[in-house]
Amino acid sequence: MTREFSVPQQRNVVTELPGPKSVDLQKRRVASVSAGAGTLANIYMERGSGAILVDVDGNQLIDLGCGIGVTTIGHAHPEVAAAAAEQAGKLTHTLFTVTPYENYVRVAEKLAEITPGDFEKHSILVNSGAEAVENAVKIARKYTGRRAIVSLDHAFHGRTNLTMGMTYRPWPERAGMGPIPAELYSVPISYPFRDGLSGEEAAEKTIDYINTHIGASEIAAFFVEPIQGDGGVIIPADGFFKRIREFCTENGIVFVADEIQAGIGRTGTWYSIEHHGVVPDLVTSAKGIAGGFPLAAVTGRAEIMDAVQPGGIGGTFGGNPVSTAAALAVFDIIEKENLIAEAQRVEKSLWARIGDWPERFPIVGEVRGKGAMFGVELVHPGTKTPYPEALKQVITEAATQGVIVLDAGSWDSVLRIMPSVVISEELIDDAASVIEQTLARLSA
């Protein structure tokens, strides 16, 4: 299909980057905004369309990050804008748990349809990914009567007090901000590039760790990102999640797929757990669900979701009328514009364009990905030693040339590529050429 974009889908750098207006705004920002909210590139944005962002100085940048996987359908989609504007003019708040409204119910109905598993499913809507994860913890604890929560090494589950404890690395996500809540455990993941194990072997290692450190009967929930995002786009080997799922079933543990980053079409399926052929008990959704409006959800088996007493979960803004209107428009657009197939197209293009980087550039250890979610792991040549300094240079130099691309990985050494699924072949090629300049120089 041919799409209409309000901004030409081209990179166009007309000032130095950051430009003069960004530099001015940055001065005001440093004087007014907490330094704890760190920034990847201090280029201030004004508008966007499709895969292009336009900054305050009129530069057009290729967006390979989507604000960490949020604007999967493209920036400022006109139908999302129209749906949100219409809803904002009608009703912006009642609090669903005081007096409900249809949008919330429709989003829950849609989530029951698109999440894996053909059993009865119920949802709760909240504001952020971390809030969804926290609610999934509460629900699983109430349902099982157990307390221990397991997540995988290299996981990212959020920055609130509970979820920072489920997030793997200490720096910068939790250092100095404890105490960490009790009963949170990190267990080994399958990381094919680094452990060389089959999925089954890695799962046995994980299960052995659980049996010798925690005890299966203590565990309420096992949280997994089927494709890890911030952890470095780690895709566990085939068979890993299948065995973990069996282990959870055998031991009465709630299996939770945290699909906040990889879900909602990004990887060429509605949910990334589908690549592993596994059905979770609960699923969390957030980032890509509402085109940038704050909305998140926990969806899962009705008997688990209904275990909590009325009033035990919820919140003032959760499932806001405007955010849910935007989400309904997003679901509609994904289907109408075949965006799941578009994510598969982006995967093919990325493999064709950057799949040979490990052969061409000695600092590239591995390229991996599904759909529009790729990781490029940078290493010191001839080793698997992480090379974070190289990543930093790639990201900084790309930004100064008008390409926004993300970092990831516990050692800050994985380039994370997450464009909108409507990105053109031309933009993929142009952005790859920019990144290659730094890869080539650092490999020489």
Ligand X SMILES: *Cc1c(COP(=O)(O)O)cnc(C)c1O
Which spans of this chain sit near ligand X (rule: CB under 6 A)?
128-130, 133, 156-158, 225, 229-230, 258, 260-261, 286-287
Please, which residue, 60 or 186, has the CB nearer to ligand X?
Answer: 186
What single-letter amino acid sits at 105?
A: V
Side-chain-side CA neighbours of residue 424 (13 Å): 16
Nearest distance, CB of residue 59 and ligand X, angstroms: 27
Please, which residue, 283 or 423, has the CB nearer to ligand X?
Answer: 283
Question: Going by DSSP bridges, is the β-strand pair 364-370/296-301 parallel, antiparallel, or unpaired?
Answer: unpaired
DSSP H or E run through 32: helix 20-32
Nearest distance, CB of residue 260 and ligand X, angstroms: 4
Instruction: Name the region of 386 (left: φ>0; alpha: ψ -120 to 50; beta: rest).
Output: beta
Please, which residue, 31 or 37, has the CB nearer to ligand X?
Answer: 37
Please, which residue, 240 or 387, has the CB nearer to ligand X?
Answer: 240
Query: Angle formed by the axes of helices 78-90 and 321-336, to 10°?
Result: 150
Please, which residue, 11 or 138, has the CB nearer to ligand X?
Answer: 138
Helices (H), 196-336: 199-213, 240-250, 302-305, 321-336
Nearest distance, CB of residue 261 and ligand X, angstroms: 3
Question: Going by DSSP bridges, is the β-strand pair 219-224/254-258 parallel, antiparallel, or unpaired?
Answer: parallel
Nearest distance, CB of residue 405 and ligand X, angstroms: 17
Nearest distance, CB of residue 58 and ligand X, angstroms: 30
Please, which residue, 41 or 130, has the CB nearer to ligand X?
Answer: 130
**271 vs 245: CA distance, rounded Å:** 16
Whether the Cβ atoms of residue 391 and residue 415 lie closer than 8 Å to each other: yes
Please, which residue, 48 or 229, has the CB nearer to ligand X?
Answer: 229
- Residue appearing with tokens 């989609």: 77
Q: Dihedral angle at the C-alpha atoms of 439, 442, 443, 444, nearest 10 degrees?
A: 120
**Which residue is at the shortest CB distance from ligand X?**
129
Please, which residue, 169 or 345, has the CB nearer to ligand X?
Answer: 169
Burial of 171 (0-12, 13-18, 19+ CB in 10 A): exposed
Phi, psi (degrees; rounded to nearest 5) at 193: -60, -35
Nearest distance, CB of residue 213 and ligand X, angstroms: 23
Please, which residue, 60 or 285, has the CB nearer to ligand X?
Answer: 285
DSSP secondary-structure letter at 287?
Answer: G
Nearest distance, CB of residue 132 and ligand X, angstroms: 7
Structure tokens belonging to residue 404: 């926004």
What single-letter amino acid sits at 439?
A: L
What single-letter amino acid sits at 359?
A: E
Nearest distance, CB of residue 159 and ligand X, angstroms: 6
Nearest distance, CB of residue 231 and ligand X, angstroms: 9
**66 vs 271: CA distance, rounded Å:** 18
